[in-house]
Chain A
Amino acid sequence: MSDCSKPLISISNLCKDYGENRILKHVSCQIESGDLVSVIGPSGCGKSTLLRCLNCLEVLDAGEITIDDVCLRAVDHDKNEDCFWQRAHELRQNVGMVFQSFNLFPHKTLLDNVTLAQIVVKHEKQEKAKALAMSLLEKVGLGNFSGRYPWSLSGGEKQRAAIARALAMKPKVMLYDEPTSSLDPEMVEEVLQVMRDLDVEGMTQIIVTHEMRFAKDASDYIIYMENGEIVEISDEDEIFINPQDDRTRRFLKRYM
């Protein structure tokens, strides 16, 4: 367990460019261990990009990210690439990612989906990996589905399986990029419930979502982003009832 006074995640001055365009502009924030944070904002404001940077799927162009004492600096990428990627690999070990389009491995059963990375990356024994996988599948309500292939599942089941797959690496942080956006309404709740359960267990979670109700009810606080900047970080009730910033107000008006 890390020091309580020290945030689990700290992002400072994070910048990300795609070609000429600066997509993330000096983003800074700190997230404590055990928090459930929702990130909201208009389309194209850079929410996904922020998550992808946290998981090193994108290389940051300036600033630094620290997750559980592993510090990744943009300057290192230019100076010493090998060292940078070594760090990125370490950092990734603590971060689980869930995608909008599930991205389950279609050629493997659910069980194999969940055990694969454990065996390949962590060199776990087959039985141990299987035991963990089974307990995780059970936890997300897919205990009876372990032998099924992804094509035979509904969208909600797929997303829960994807969550189990990410949890199998025992991450300290879970990132979700619009986990429920491609689901039919009746399946949204079962996925959200899994995240609530994880929150109760003390998992740190960052969720990019358009589910305002979930954001309001479940999150500890909400980050509002616009145009590559964090406009407002505030308590979940506060932001909905009394947004501090004009831009936030305008955005929420459209949703409420």
Chain B
Amino acid sequence: MKTFYFIILLLFGPVLSADESVLHWAADAESGAPNVFYEDGNLSKLVGFEKDIMDHIAKHLGRRAEFHQNDWDSLISGLQRGLYDVVINGFSPEEGKESSIIFSDPYYACGLSLIVRADTNKIKSILDCNEAVVGVLRSSKAESTLMSSLKNVKVIGYPNEYCAISDLKDKRVDAILLDGQVAAYYTKKLSGLKIIDEVDEIKYSIVSTSNNSKLMAAINDAIEHMKRDGALDALVSKWDICNTFYVQLRETSGKSKMNPPCLNSESSQRNNQEIIKYLQAFPFFMKAACVTLMISILAMCVAIVLGLCLAIMRVYMPKWISFLAISTIEFLRGIPLLIQLFFVFYGLPCIGITLPPLVAGILTLGMNYAAYEAENFRAGMVAVPYGQMEAARALGMNQWQSLRHVILPQAFTFVLPPLTNDFIAILKDSSLVSLITIVELTKTYMLIASNSFNFFGMGAIVAIIYFLIGLPFAQLAKLAEKHLKLEKRAYSSRKIGRRYR
């Protein structure tokens, strides 16, 4: 019973804690340096320029800042869905044209920097990129700028900075266009790259929804305050991200004593040992594995219960109910899981059904797999000889009693092997719920790897963890199968024994 309450708390916790003393803010920490990121991939150390700004603002508002991870693509949908109060992640007012979205006064400005490999001579400015392949962040300002200014450029959109930069190093793209301070961070961090051009200006604003206009006013007040008392300038120099656009921004809104930096400032060399990174990552991987396991098990429970109902409806109920069940099964398994997930999480709130992320994730996964389980159960029930049903009915049991005591226990023997298969499949498919803000094993891997520039080693660890989680279930199923099939094995061995004695 205790575990039951614990699970309920875990599922609905995020919704219940909607409380005025906390400022919920969101960003994408996946290769989010230097704005919001995990230092060296250590998930207990959330740092960054924007993180510091949110701390300042929260302090000014007398609230506690609480961070929410979400994918960059989904930050605004999450905001509209009420998962958090504000988003701070390099958004500029031009990017969101929707009226329900409001922007704060700018807290930072930068240009777009063009990065190429150090040995590239062909491209000297953005104008040389016509004919070239250029990487950008998906749906970023850089993407729209590039598309509108150059006709023959081939633009490739990336989900995060790290992917773009890896591809540049691996020569899959000729150049990438990133926000100035981000470009500076990565060229310092990784060798063999250079910044060759800077174009356009973008201003960073905090984003919220129009029903939070009061909060936004307070945030603007806080930003103004930070500008006046020099806190903002201090943060900019702390993160070493000063540039001419920022200086201009500060000059129009008050005095600034800052100078734009020289581009080649020496980066602080960190010699963190790899082992320590792995050790740091370990507890987070364990926690994430628990989340993945919990989601998978609960989703499987949903799938089994729902699947069983659908199978019974399909096999033993009147025609129209059976037809209903068949339609449901075909519908559920005919639509990509991803679409179902987005529909349930971001779509249903439009008609007033707002589910917490975990509940939405578990239900959707469970519903999708219920279709497959229903077919498994159906096959199992059909495999039980019809005489069994007749014998049970002849003894006076009604249909439900016959199913419950005679058919289902036998059907379960047939169903167990495919059920285990599906559990392992669900374990892997559960990584999809990371798209609705749940940080599980795959997302944890992405966060750690993209922030510690180690996709290989961390990837191996994650692969092993997935494998190890699935393993006991496969063994368990084998054991149970052995136990249930005991009868037939014993029979054959008895026969053989008799023959040879």
Footprint of B on A, CB under 8 Å?
55, 57, 89, 92-93, 95-97, 99, 101, 103-107, 116-117, 120-122, 149, 151-152, 162, 165-166, 169
Contacts and interface: CB of A to CB of B under 8 A. Distances in A.
Interface in B119-177: none
B388 A105 contact: yes
B391 A99 contact: yes
A107 B409 contact: yes
A117 B396 contact: yes
B406 interface: yes
Contact of A151 (B388, B406, B487): B487
B405 interface: yes
Contact of B387 (A92, A101, A117): A101
> Which 8 A-B pairs have CB atoms at the shortest separation, nearest pair first?
A103-B391, A117-B395, A97-B394, A103-B387, A121-B396, A151-B491, A151-B487, A107-B409
B394 A57 contact: yes
Contacts of B393: 57, 92
20 contacts: A89-B398, A92-B393, A92-B396, A99-B387, A99-B390, A99-B394, A103-B385, A103-B387, A103-B388, A103-B391, A105-B388, A105-B406, A107-B413, A107-B487, A117-B397, A120-B397, A121-B401, A149-B487, A151-B491, A165-B395
A106 B395 contact: no
A165 B397 CA distance: 13
A105 B490 CA distance: 17
Given A103-B387, A105-B406, A107-B409, A55 B394 contact: yes
A152 B497 CA distance: 13
Q: Interface centre among A95, A117, A166, by most B CB within 10 Å?
A: A117
A169 B395 contact: yes
Nearest to B386: A103
A95 B395 CA distance: 8
Contact of A121 (B391, B395, B406, B487): B395
Given A103-B387, A103-B388, A116-B405, A166 B396 contact: no
Contacts of A104: 391
Given A95-B394, A120-B405, A169-B396, 13 more contacts: A57-B393, A57-B394, A92-B393, A93-B396, A103-B387, A103-B391, A106-B410, A121-B397, A149-B487, A151-B490, A152-B494, A162-B391, A165-B395
Interface string B422-463: 000000000000000000000000000000000000000000
A114 to B, nearest CB: 10
Contacts of A103: 385, 387-388, 390-391
A107 B387 contact: no
**Majority SS at the chain B contact face:** helix
A89 B397 CA distance: 9
B491 A152 contact: yes
Interface SS, A side: mixed
A14 B491 CA distance: 44
A152 B490 CA distance: 9
Interface of B: 385, 387-388, 390-398, 401, 405-406, 409-410, 413, 487-488, 490-491, 494
A44 to B, nearest CB: 19
A231 B253 CA distance: 112
Contacts of B392: 105, 117
Contacts of B410: 105-107
Contacts of B413: 107
Nearest to B487: A151
A95 B390 CA distance: 13
A169 B385 CA distance: 23
A145 B413 CA distance: 25
B487 A89 contact: no
A158 B405 CA distance: 20
Contacts of A97: 391, 394
A116 B387 CA distance: 17
Nearest to A101: B387
Q: Which residue among A57, A107, A116 has the maximum number of chain B CB atoms within 10 Å of its CB?
A: A107
Nearest to B394: A97
Q: Which of B385, B391, B494 has the most CB of A within 10 A?
A: B391
B395 A166 contact: yes
Nearest to A121: B396
A67 B501 CA distance: 53
Contacts of B390: 57, 99, 103
A165 B398 CA distance: 17
A56 to B, nearest CB: 8
A158 to B, nearest CB: 12
A105 B411 CA distance: 12
A153 to B, nearest CB: 11
Contacts of A151: 487-488, 490-491
A57 B396 CA distance: 11
Contacts of A95: 394
A215 to B, nearest CB: 23
B217 to A, nearest CB: 67
A166 B406 CA distance: 15
A116 B391 CA distance: 12
A193 to B, nearest CB: 23
Contacts of B491: 151-152
Contacts of A149: 487
Contact of B401 (A92, A101, A120, A166): A120
Contacts of B385: 103
A104 B382 CA distance: 17
A58 B392 CA distance: 14
Nearest to A55: B394
Contacts of A117: 392, 395-397
Nearest to A85: B398
B396 A105 contact: no
B207 to A, nearest CB: 60
A105 B401 CA distance: 14
A52 B487 CA distance: 31
A105 to B, nearest CB: 6
A77 to B, nearest CB: 15
Contacts of A93: 396
